[in-house]
Amino acid sequence: MKAVSFLCCMLMLTCSIWANYITPTEDEIIYPTIISSDEIADPGEVGSQNLRVIEPTREDLSSSQQPPEHYSPYWGDDLLVTNECVLNTSRTTLAFDYDNQGHIYVAILSRHTDHDTLYVFRSTDRGYTWEKDWPMLPGGSCNILCYDMKVQRGVSNPYIYEAVLFENSSGDTAMCYRRMTVDGVNFDWAFFSLDSTAFQSIQTLSLDITNETNPHIYINYAKSDGDINFIYTADGAGTTWGRSYVSSTGIGSIADVAAGPDGYVYILYYRNSQQQMRGGTYYNYGASYTGFYYLSNARPEARYPQLVTAVTNSYPTNHVYLVYQDGHVDNATTRSYITSSTDGGGSWTLDEFFMVGDVHAIRPFINFAWNNDAVTGLVTKYGTFDTLRWAFRSNQGGAWTGEGVVNQYDATTGITPQGNYVTTGVGGGVAVVYREYASSNILYDRASHYNAIEEIITDHGTVPGMTVNYLPGILDISIIAEDNCQAQLFIADLSGRVVTTNFEGELVSGENNFRISTHSLSSGNYFLILNTNQGINTHKFSVSQ
């Protein structure tokens, strides 16, 4: 990928909405009430006749086994989000989401001298500048163990929701729920009381919200005593919650949750004693459940699972995906896998190698866009240079396409990258965040599937408009520039290789006209690319000789 010449001088915006507000006062803290609590026996504890075994089928993923070994021309230069992510391999993570304006949010843990601080970084211009603020945990002596973050849909001043698991000064693990609006005016804290055994000895957690303007909120968490707990609420302030818990022994430190369509929600946990990946499906926004099952095809010693579901397709036509890394020890035998359901979780495919085939691949990630059910997949291929691979499905039933290498820098193996397909507002394509190897840098990259060519903006002026009329053997081009600017006009093939350079010089303010012959081009598809210091404008065209 191209070298980043402007990372060191890019503008890092820091707003002051929350600069003087870290610790809430006592009257600002909510201690939630559990209004219902339903115990569900683990299926393995009540006899095999009650355990629904998901018999897998095989899905043909042959088209996604071998992505290209070269840099994909879809991607631009990697941009710096922050250099404040000090790695702690036992608990460092990322959380990524976007709002209906296409603004991007990344929650990042920063390590300080006497306490951890969790901040949210936001970009309103597709990753070129970032605001750091919205602290999600009160200051003090604490170690953050894990966290998750989501952003409200459908409003211009959205709430940021977060669930945080931390170790306090007494050495106890405690769980906190937090929400605040982007403008900092409205906020709520909810600390789950350690006086209740339901919130003691928590090991890990996951959060998700429904795809609604006033979302239902779900938190799934695992405890060291063997319980898996699922809590849910329609009360955004977090005052009251319902609780469902699976009482068992030997449940591992894996818990994930995915908010589905039509009030359905999926949870995932891992039972160490039988080395089984297990799931459950709830409906009525978590108040009722259809049953629990284990995925007989999921391999033992699963690690870093990611459970996601489509949300714009109604139940039971929504697809559900699970990706995970096989093996607790990262070595040459480690692989990443995917298993999926096309009927809302009723039946599942046999697991297949995820994206890159039968090679050393770790830290898989998959996500559905919340506004159109496009799918983004990521996995790190281990090697001398750890390459972060990506793939894309335009809808839940589509084939994997666009596979290629994303990272310009060596990607760390100690933290799972995240991303999504952002097409709302100022968004435009797959957005990815990852941590650089042996560094405190969090980096961002994105691709545009509209233009199918990298978009690099070094100034925030207006990109000149370009109109192309296709005549036999001729491209008739009109470019409208607001101001004089330096420009290149060239043709590239689908690999990004420049075939012809047709203009290098200054565009004048107003209309600029060009005619380019295509007779020297072989039959095929090409890009006509206008590259200016305001940005890039691209048109795709075909030649048939």
pLDDT tens, position by position, 172-228: 888 999 999 999 899 898 889 888 888 988 989 999 999 999 999 999 998 887 778
Tokens of residue 316, six digits = 């039971």
pTM of the complete model beyond 0.85: no
Is a pLDDT exceeding 80 seen at residue 450?
no
User: Who wins on pLDDT, 310 or 17?
Assistant: 310
- In this structure, of 234-243, 252-261, 453-462, the range with the lowest mean pLDDT score is 453-462
Mean pLDDT of the chain: 79
Residue 139: CB partners within 8 Å, gap ≥ 6?
22, 23, 115, 117
Which pLDDT does position 112 carry in this prediction? 55
pLDDT at 66 over 70: no
6-58 pLDDT, tens digit per residue, is 223 322 222 323 333 344 555 556 668 777 778 776 665 544 444 455 556 55
Q: Can you tell me the mean pLDDT for 232-243?
A: 93
State the pLDDT confidence band at 337, using cuts at 50, 70 and 90.
very high
Mean pLDDT of 404-418: 82
For residue 458, pLDDT beyond 60: no
Q: Which residue has the higher pLDDT, 160 or 227?
A: 160
Beta bridge partners of 271: 251, 276
pLDDT confidence of residue 293 = 80
Does pLDDT of 238 surpass 80? yes
C-alpha distances (whole Å) from 56 to each of 41, 268, 318, 398, 544 are 24, 17, 17, 20, 46
Higher-confidence residue of 159 and 24: namely: 159
What structural domains does the chain harbor? 56-446 (2.120.10.10), 465-543 (2.60.40.2550)
Distance between CA atoms of 259 and 263, rounded to whole angstroms?
Answer: 8
**What is the number of other CB atoms lying within 10 angstroms of the CB of residue 80?**
18
pLDDT of residue 422: 86
**pLDDT computed for residue 25 by the predictor:** 54
- The per-residue pLDDT for 426 is 73
DSSP 173-184: EEEEEEEEETTS
Q: In 152-264, which ranges are E strands?
A: 159-167, 173-181, 187-191, 202-209, 217-223, 228-233, 240-247, 251-259
Please give the residue that has the higher pLDDT: either 529 or 247. Answer: 529
C-alpha to C-alpha distances, 510 to 464, 483, 506, 507, nearest whole angstrom = 10, 7, 12, 8
Residue 503, classed as helix, strand or coil, is strand
Mean pLDDT value across residues 336-345: 92
* Nearest Cα residue to 115 out of 137, 80, 142: 142
Rounded (10°) CA dihedral 528, 7, 110, 383: 70
Residues contacting residue 493 through CB under 8 Å, at least 6 positions apart: 499, 524, 525, 526, 527
Helix (H) or strand (E) holding 30: strand 29-30
pLDDT, residue 62, reads 41
In order of 332, 493, 543, the CA distances from 500 in angstroms are 44, 10, 14
CB–CB of 269/261 below 8 Å? no
Cβ neighbours of residue 283 closer than 8 Å, sequence gap 6 or more: 262, 263, 264, 265, 289, 290, 315
Token output for 206: 């996951």
Distance CA(534)–CA(229), nearest Å, equals: 51
Run of H or E residues at 73: none
Q: Which two tokens stand for residue 461?
A: 């002026």
pLDDT at 540: 76
Residues 6+ apart with CB under 8 A from 112: none
Cβ contact 430:449 at 8 Å: yes
pLDDT given for residue 181 in this prediction: 95
pLDDT given for residue 284 in this prediction: 96
> What local confidence, expressed as pLDDT, does residue 482 receive?
84
Q: Averaging pLDDT over each range in 10-24, 140-154, 340-354, 520-534, which range is the top one?
A: 340-354
Q: Does 459 have pLDDT greater than 50?
A: no
212: enclosing H helix or E strand: none
- The predicted pLDDT at position 38 comes to 80
